[in-house]
């Protein structure tokens, strides 16, 4: 498989993973919301007079006073909590796969279009030199630490786009056009 089709296939996988991650997150939110409602119902059925059964106390070393804390084993028993949330584990696995795929796309893009290669903008026909890739630390909708392509226009202005958007909007010049 050549780099461009492989990169396109990986980008499709990343897009599919992004959708699966969002669905898993939403399902997890719904499950957590339902779980909190169920826990509240169980606590209310347990009765206020019995809530002390779920609270422990411990001495505070410096003052000699006592502090209170939830008796976690009793609370877990009451709420029938036995282990980790499998939904969160699924989300963690999906996120790991997602970032592995993004890294592979980034590596393929870097090999396919090394720094110094010149490109023509498909719409405007302007010529741009690909300088390389950079990491963006941002609070805008672009993902934090996303890999971006840094490129320079003929007027010296620097621009940044995602690798997928760059490849969609630009095409490399032919061999003899690279030097002119």
CA max distance for the chain: 86
Task: Note the pTM of the prediction, 2 decimals.
Answer: 0.33
Report the alpha-carbon distance of residue 38 to residue 34 in Å, rounded: 6
* Tens-digit pLDDT profile for residues 33-64: 777 788 778 878 877 777 777 777 778 777 77
**Average pLDDT in the chain:** 75
Choose among 84, 61, 57, 81: nearest CA to 70: 57
């Amino acid at each position: 498989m050549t780099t461009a089709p492989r990169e396109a296939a990986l980008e499709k996988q990343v897009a599919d993973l992004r959708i699966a991650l969002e669905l898993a997150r939403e399902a997890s939110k719904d499950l957590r919301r339902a779980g909190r409602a169920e826990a509240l119902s169980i606590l209310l059925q347990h009765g206020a007079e019995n809530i002390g059964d779920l609270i422990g106390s411990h001495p505070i070393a410096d003052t000699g006073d006592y502090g209170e804390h939830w008796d976690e084993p009793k609370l877990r028993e009451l709420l029938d909590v036995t282990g980790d949330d499998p939904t969160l584990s699924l989300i963690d696995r999906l996120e790991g796969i997602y970032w592995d795929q993004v890294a592979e796309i980034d590596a393929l893009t870097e090999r396919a279009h090394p720094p110094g290669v010149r490109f023509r903008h498909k719409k405007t026909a302007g010529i741009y030199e690909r300088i390389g890739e950079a990491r963006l630390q941002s609070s805008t909708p672009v993902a934090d630490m996303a890999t971006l392509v840094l490129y320079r226009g003929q007027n010296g202005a620097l621009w940044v786009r995602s690798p997928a958007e760059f490849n969609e909007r630009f095409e490399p010049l032919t061999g003899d056009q690279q030097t002119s």
